[in-house]
Amino acid sequence: MSDLTPSLDPGSPLPLYEQLYRSISRDIIMGRIQGGTRLPSRRALSRHLGISEQTISNAYALLKAEGFISAKARSGLFVERMLPLTEAPVHPAPHKEKDEALIRFDLLPQSTDISLFPRKLWARLMREALLDEPDLMKRGDPRGEHSLRAALCAFLYQFRGVQTTFEQMVIASGVDQLLLAICALFNRPLRIACEDPGYTEAARVIRRAGHTPVPLPLDEHGIRIDTLMKEDVDLVYITPAHQFPTGISMPASRRAELLHWAQERTGRYLIEDDYDSEFRYATRPLPALQSLDATGKVIYLSTFSRSLAPGLRIAYMALPKELSEAYTKTGLRSGETVTRFEQHTMARFIQEGHYTRHLRRAGNRYQKRCEQLCALLSQIPGSFLSGQEAGLHFLFGIKGRTEKDLLQKAADRHIPLQGLQGFCQDVHLMPALVMGFGGLEDEQVEEAVALLRMAWSV
Amino acid sequence: MSDLTPSLDPGSPLPLYEQLYRSISRDIIMGRIQGGTRLPSRRALSRHLGISEQTISNAYALLKAEGFISAKARSGLFVERMLPLTEAPVHPAPHKEKDEALIRFDLLPQSTDISLFPRKLWARLMREALLDEPDLMKRGDPRGEHSLRAALCAFLYQFRGVQTTFEQMVIASGVDQLLLAICALFNRPLRIACEDPGYTEAARVIRRAGHTPVPLPLDEHGIRIDTLMKEDVDLVYITPAHQFPTGISMPASRRAELLHWAQERTGRYLIEDDYDSEFRYATRPLPALQSLDATGKVIYLSTFSRSLAPGLRIAYMALPKELSEAYTKTGLRSGETVTRFEQHTMARFIQEGHYTRHLRRAGNRYQKRCEQLCALLSQIPGSFLSGQEAGLHFLFGIKGRTEKDLLQKAADRHIPLQGLQGFCQDVHLMPALVMGFGGLEDEQVEEAVALLRMAWSV
pLDDT at residue A250 in the model: 92
How many residue pairs bridge chain A and chain B with CB atoms within 8 Å of each other?
A: 280
Neighbours of B156 (CB within 10 A): 23
Report whether B267 contacts B295 (CB < 8 A).
Answer: no
**Which of B339, B340, B441 should one mutate to test binding to chain A, selecting the residue with the greatest count of A CBs within 10 A?**
B339
pLDDT level of residue B231 (50, 70, 90 thresholds)? very high
Say if residue B223's pLDDT is above 80: yes
Q: How far is CA A299 from CA A151, A182, A224, A457, B309, in A?
A: 18, 9, 19, 46, 32
Hey, are the CB atoms on A295 and B28 less than 8 Å from each other? no
> Mind telling me how many Å the CA of B20 is from chain A's nearest CA?
13
| Better-predicted residue by pLDDT, B99 or B436 | B436
To 10 degrees, the CA torsion angle through A373, A375, A377, A383? 140
Helices (H), A30-105: 42-49, 53-65
Element (H, E) at A298: strand A298-303
pLDDT at A417: 94
Q: What element of type H or E holds B212?
A: strand B212-219
**Domains parsed from chain A with CATH numbers:** 16-90 (1.10.10.10), 102-116+357-456 (3.90.1150.10), 119-355 (3.40.640.10)
Indicate yes or no: CB of B139 within 8 angstroms of CB of A341: no
Say whether A93 and B146 touch across the interface (CB within 8 A): no
- pLDDT (tens digit per residue) in B1-45: 446 777 788 777 778 888 888 888 878 877 778 888 888 888 888
pLDDT at A100: 47
CB-CB under 8 Å, B284 with A311: no
Helix, strand, coil fractions of chain B, as percent rounded to 5:
45, 15, 45
Render pLDDT for B374-388 as a digit per residue (tens, 0 to 9): 999 999 999 999 998
Over residues B299-347, the pLDDT tens digits come to 999 999 999 999 899 999 999 999 999 999 998 999 989 999 999 999 9
Find the mean pLDDT for residues B67-92: 73
Nearest Cβ partner for A252 among B68, B167, B314: B68
Smallest CA–CA distance, residue A343 to chain B, in Å, is 11
B62, B177, B291 member nearest A337 (Cβ):
B177
- What pLDDT, in 10s, does the model give residues B161-205? 899 999 999 999 999 999 999 999 998 999 999 999 999 999 999
CA dihedral of residues B139, B144, B145, B146 (deg, nearest 10): -120
Specify which residues A70 forms β-bridges with: A78
pLDDT (tens digit per residue) in B428-447? 888 999 999 999 999 999 99
Q: Considering only A203-217, B284-298, B349-363, which range has the smallest mean pLDDT?
A: B284-298
Task: Give pLDDT, residue B100.
Answer: 47
What is the distance between the alpha carbons of residues B186 and A77, in angstroms, rounded to a whole number? 44
Residue, of A327 and B252, whose pLDDT is higher = A327
Tell me the CA distances in angstroms from B11 to A135, A156, B19, B420, one per residue in order: 37, 19, 11, 57
- For residue A259, give every residue at least 6 positions away whose Cβ sits within 8 Å of its Cβ, in sequence order, or none: A270, A289, A292, A293, A295, A297, A298, B85
Contact A290, A258 (CB under 8 A): no
pLDDT at residue number A25: 83
- What DSSP line would sit under B351-365, residue for residue? HTTHHHHHHHHHHHH
Structure ipTM over 0.90, yes or no: no
- pLDDT for B66 beyond 80: no
Nearest residue of chain B to residue A309 (CA atoms): B137
Q: Is the pLDDT of residue B99 over 70?
A: no
Q: How many H helices and E strands in chain A?
A: 14, 14
Going by pLDDT thresholds of 50, 70 and 90, the confidence category of residue B86 is: low
Query: Per-residue pLDDT for chain A (458 aa), expressed as one digit of tens each?
Result: 446 777 788 777 778 888 888 888 878 877 778 888 888 888 888 888 888 898 898 888 888 877 888 888 778 888 888 777 665 444 444 444 443 456 678 899 989 999 999 999 999 999 999 999 888 899 899 999 999 999 999 999 888 889 999 999 999 999 999 999 999 999 899 999 999 999 999 999 999 888 999 999 999 999 999 999 999 999 999 999 999 999 998 988 999 999 999 999 999 999 999 998 888 887 666 789 999 898 999 999 999 999 999 989 999 999 999 999 999 999 899 998 999 999 999 999 999 999 999 999 999 999 999 999 999 999 999 999 999 888 999 999 999 999 999 999 999 888 999 999 999 998 888 899 999 999 999 999 999 999 999 999 99
Q: What span, in angstroms and rounded, lies between the C-alpha atoms of B34 and B36?
A: 6
Amino acid A285: pLDDT = 60
Report the pLDDT value the prediction gives residue A197, as an integer from 0 to 100.
Answer: 96
pLDDT at A354 (0 to 100): 95
Count CB atoms within 10 A of the CB of residue B367.
17
Name the average pLDDT for chain B.
Answer: 89
Per CB-CB distance under 8 Å, the chain A contacts of B94 are 165
A81-95, B349-363, B406-420: least confident range: A81-95
What radius of gyration, in Å, describes the C-alpha atoms of chain A? 30
Instruction: Give residue A102's pLDDT.
Output: 62
**Which residues of A are less than 8 Å from B88 in CB distance?**
163, 291-294
Instruction: Please report how many Cα atoms fall inside a 13 Å half-sphere around the Cα of residue A366, on the Cβ side.
Output: 33
Mutate to test the interface with B, among A138, A152, A328, A392 (most CBs of B within 10 A): A138
Beta-carbon count within 10 A of A381 CB: 8
Hey, of A66, A321, A338, which one would you mutate to test binding to chain B, going by the most B CBs within 10 A of its CB? Answer: A66
Inspect the interface and report whether the beta carbons of B252 and A82 lie closer than 8 Å: yes
State the Cα–Cα distance between residues A151 and A166, nearest whole angstrom.
Answer: 8
- Taking the CA of residue B283 and the nearest CA in chain A, the distance in Å comes to 7
Residue of B nearest to A153 (CA): B92
CB contact under 8 A, A157 and B92: yes
How far is the C-alpha of B169 from the C-alpha of B316, rounded, in Å?
Answer: 7
pLDDT more than 70, % of chain B: 94
CB contact under 8 A, A311 and B259: no
pLDDT over 70 (residue B90)? no
